[in-house]
Each structure stands twice: as structure tokens, then as C-alpha cells.
């Protein structure tokens, strides 16, 4: 027998799980297919900076208060290496209690997974989706689970798999920045409580996100250099980081395990590439982590798709009309988020003297102009539709 659902979500990562939770109280039959086996903790090493806007959405999903290990960001310090000019964004000036939060990816994933367990959503773990096909009025999903082939029919297939399943059939537009991100938990002699640092350098940006006794480091560098940085012993790594980042938080004292992620911009040209199908989260757009936009944007994708589904007449689920309405709803926020992130990477990776002076002036202007500051902070916290 073939299973039938109203909505099937391919990928129970943070974005797919958030969509499922947003739909859990509806009468719709919702299913999540996740490749990870059941009851296995995520081992992803990355930390995520969540915006204040994401906190509000996670509260609505009933997940926020279940999150452990969250550190608040109340100040963001933005600067560029070997140049004057810096900007400070402070929560108090912007009338919000916090600008954002830092937490490990597995902590977020666990909280969402636990919330799903107590819902009516059917979640199938160990389900590796291999094919998505269109049939006249629905989609057909083929997946492998426990060594067996399964098939499922759905009125709407939501692809939230991070971007692999349809990449060959519908290739994304790709900008390779030639950079990787090296990440690690580090401690320093003079940490500044609740302050995040974003420092732009010719090699790429370096971010220190306040977390527990130290910082989650995101150090961007050309691929080969990043691989080399993985081979340094701890003492050399901490010294090189100090040389690169400067003395704002004192000497660096310890480093945890280091991991590396290749970076680039991948953007699906069409959010709904086939009938009855929509791309969500990283499957729709994978961005450079410089502005901490990836999950925050994906969560807004999930929330707005859920509202579109809940507001639509039941018979329109998965139709061209419904998918066109979703595309139009997401256009401005998505394009603005991609442009903002891509623009930051490009603007701060250019070493022409005039461009460097322009950047310094822009940072100083941002620091002095309350309206400009509010605009940037609001975009980072709530996106362009906020």
C-alpha cells in the first residue's frame, strides 16, 4: 500500500522540523522524512547566531523555552582590519532586550526533534529520499528505509534537505567565494560579556560569537589556507588568531576541536521548480555565514509557508496558484537577504585603497547615524518583511 499525505517534508533539519511544528495543530496529514537514524544526536559542530526575530518565531512554535545552552548577544562590534572606522550596534539603543542569541546547532535540532515527538506529525527517521516525481495532481516520493524501497504520495512536497536532492535536475546559481569557514570554541583572557565581534579582513571575515565561557569562532579564509590552519597545533593556532584578530578580547587561551566548511552562495532560480513542490531553507538558498542569515532566513521561509498553507482553501494545497502566492510572499525578504550577505562578502574582500577608505567611512557613518543603524539592525533581526 502507498502512503498518502497532504504535506511531505523531505529533511527534518532545523527548517523542515520548524515547518512541521508550525502545521502540527492543523487537520492536515503531515509527514517528515529524515535521513538521520532515530535517536541519534546531531554531531554538527557549527554554532548558530539566532536573531531576535527568530526567537519570537521559536516562541510561537513552543520551542524557545526548551532550548538549553543559549547565550545572549547585546552588542555587535563591527570593524575592518588595518583601517579606522568601526560600528557598534547595541540592543538598548534599538529598543530590544537582545540583538540575538548563540547556540549549538545540535541543541536547536534536539529541541525541535523533541517537540515533533509529542505532535501528531508522522516523522520517519532513517528515510533517505532518492527521487521526487510529479504526477497529474500530486507528487510521488521514493525513499529507502531499513533496506527497503518505499513510496509516498503527497499533495505538496517540501524539499528541506539542505539542497542535494534536486541539485542535478534543477541546478542552483552558484557563486564560489573561494573561501572556507574554520569553526571552533575558543576562550580568551579578556572576554567581553554578550558582545559579538565581526571583523572584516582581506582574507575574509572573522566572527567571535559570545558563548558560555568564551566564543564560537568563525574564521573565514581561502580554502587552502583554511586546510593549513587545521594542521597547526593549538599554540600556533591561538597565536595566529591573535595576530589576525587583534587584542580586543585579550590573548586567546584555549581552542576546542576545529572543523572546516566550504562556503559559497547557492541560490535556486525558482523556489517551486516542479509542480506540487517547494524548496525551503538551505535547499532554496545557501548563504555565506558572515551575516548569520542562513537559518534565520530558513525559519522565516518555514513560518511564511505555514501561514500560506493554513490560510489557503484546502482544495488549493499544492496548486500553481498557492505556490505562486508563496513565491511572491518570499521574494522581497529572500532577495534582500541574499543581496545583503553577498554584498558584505564582496565589499569587504576588495583591497583597492579607495574601496577600503569607502568601507571605513561607511562603518563610521553607520556608527553615527541612528536611522541607518536601526535599518541595518532591523534587517538582521526581522528580515525585509519584518
Ligand X SMILES: Cc1cc2nc3c(=O)[nH]c(=O)nc-3n(C[C@H](O)[C@H](O)[C@H](O)COP(=O)(O)OP(=O)(O)OC[C@H]3O[C@@H](n4cnc5c(N)ncnc54)[C@H](O)[C@@H]3O)c2cc1C
Least distance in Å: CB of 304 to ligand X?
A: 14
Cα–Cα distances in angstroms (integers) from residue 253 to residues 215, 238, 381, in the given order: 11, 7, 32
CB of 357 vs ligand X, minimal distance in Å:
29
Residue among 13 and 318 whose Cβ is closer to ligand X: 13
Q: Nearest distance from residue 353's CB to ligand X, in Å?
A: 31
Q: Which residue is nearest to ligand X (CB)?
A: 13
Which residue number, 28 or 157, has a Cβ lying nearer to ligand X? 157
Residue with cell 565589499: 347
Nearer of residues 85 and 115 to ligand X, judged by Cβ: 115
Across 220-238, b (16+ Cβ under 10 Å) vs e yields bbeeeebeebeeeeeeebb
Q: Cell match 546559481: residue?
A: 173
Q: Which is nearer to ligand X, 37 or 314 (CB)?
A: 37
CA angle in degrees (0–180, nearest 5) for 101-84-351: 90
CA distance 296 to 149: 34
Nearest in space to 157 (alpha carbons), one of 33, 43, 270, 301: 33
How near is the Cβ of 19 to ligand X at its closest, in Å? 9
Q: How far apart are CA 336 and CA 384, in angstroms?
A: 7
- Whole-number minimum distance, CB 181 to ligand X, in Å? 4
Burial class of residue 367 in the structure, from the number of CB atoms within 10 Å of its CB (0-12 exposed, 13-18 middle, 19+ buried): middle
Cell for 225?
589556507
Q: How many angstroms separate the CA atoms of 226 and 181, rounded?
A: 7
Which C-beta is closer to ligand X: that of 214 or that of 289?
289
Residues in the chain: 386
Q: Which is nearer to ligand X, 15 or 356 (CB)?
A: 15
Q: Shortest approach of ligand X to residue 72 CB, angstroms? A: 14
CB of 48 to ligand X, least distance (A): 4
Closer by beta carbon to ligand X, 16 or else 210: 16
Smallest gap from residue 66 Cβ to ligand X (A): 18
How would you label 174-209 residue by residue, b for 16+ Cβ within 10 Å and e otherwise? eeebebbbbbbbbbbeebbeebbbbbbbebbbbbbb
Measured CA to CA, the distance from residue 99 to residue 94 in angstroms comes to 9
Which of residues 47 and 309 has its CB atom nearest to ligand X in the complex? 47
**Contact positions vs ligand X (CB under 6 A):** 10-16, 33-36, 46, 48-49, 127-129, 160-162, 164-165, 181, 183, 218, 261, 281-282, 289, 292-296, 298
Amino acid at each position: 500500500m502507498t502512503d498518502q499525505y497532504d504535506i511531505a517534508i523531505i529533511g527534518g533539519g532545523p527548517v523542515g522540523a520548524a515547518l512541521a511544528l508550525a502545521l502540527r495543530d492543523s487537520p492536515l496529514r503531515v509527514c517528515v522524512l529524515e535521513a538521520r537514524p532515530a535517536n541519534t544526536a546531531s554531531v554538527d559542530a557549527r554554532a548558530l547566531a539566532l536573531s531576535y526575530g527568530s526567537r519570537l518565531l521559536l516562541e510561537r512554535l513552543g520551542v524557545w523555552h526548551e532550548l538549553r545552552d543559549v547565550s545572549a548577544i547585546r552588542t555587535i562590534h563591527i570593524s575592518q582590519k588595518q583601517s579606522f572606522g568601526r560600528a557598534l550596534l547595541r540592543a538598548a539603543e534599538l529598543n530590544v532586550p537582545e540583538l540575538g542569541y548563540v547556540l549549538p546547532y545540535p541543541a536547536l535540532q534536539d529541541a525541535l526533534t523533541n517537540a515533533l515527538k509529542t505532535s501528531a506529525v508522522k516523522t520517519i527517521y532513517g528515510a533517505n529520499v532518492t527521487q521526487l516525481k510529479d504526477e497529474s495532481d500530486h507528487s510521488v516520493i521514493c525513499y529507502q528505509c531499513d533496506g527497503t524501497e518505499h513510496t509516498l504520495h503527497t499533495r505538496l512536497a517540501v524539499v528541506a534537505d539542505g539542497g542535494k536532492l534536486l541539485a542535478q535536475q534543477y541546478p542552483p546559481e552558484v557563486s564560489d567565494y573561494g573561501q572556507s569557514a574554520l569553526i571552533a570554541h575558543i576562550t580568551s583572557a579578556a572576554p567581553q560579556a554578550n558582545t559579538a565581534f565581526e571583523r572584516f579582513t582581506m582574507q575574509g571575515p572573522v566572527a567571535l560569537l559570545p558563548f558560555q565561557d568564551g566564543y564560537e569562532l568563525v574564521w573565514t579564509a581561502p580554502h587552502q589556507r583554511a586546510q593549513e590552519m587545521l594542521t597547526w597545533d593549538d599554540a600556533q593556532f591561538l597565536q595566529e588568531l591573535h595576530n589576525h584578530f587583534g587584542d580586543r578580547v585579550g590573548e586567546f587561551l584555549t581552542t576546542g576541536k576545529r572543523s572546516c566548511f566550504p562556503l559559497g552562495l547557492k541560490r535556486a532560480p525558482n523556489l517551486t521548480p516542479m509542480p506540487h513542490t517547494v524548496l525551503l531553507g538551505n535547499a532554496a538558498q545557501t548563504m555565506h555565514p558572515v551575516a548569520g542569515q542562513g537559518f534565520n532566513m530558513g525559519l522565516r521561509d518555514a513560518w511564511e509557508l505555514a501561514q500560506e498553507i493554513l490560510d489557503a482553501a484546502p482544495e488549493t494545497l499544492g496548486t500553481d496558484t498557492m505556490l505562486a502566492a508563496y513565491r511572491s510572499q518570499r521574494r522581497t525578504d529572500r532577495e534582500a537577504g541574499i543581496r545583503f550577505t553577498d554584498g558584505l562578502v564582496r565589499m569587504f574582500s576588495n583591497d583597492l585603497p579607495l574601496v577600503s577608505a569607502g568601507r571605513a567611512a561607511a562603518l563610521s557613518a553607520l556608527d553615527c547615524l541612528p536611522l541607518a543603524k536601526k535599518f541595518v539592525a532591523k534587517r538582521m533581526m526581522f528580515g525585509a518583511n519584518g
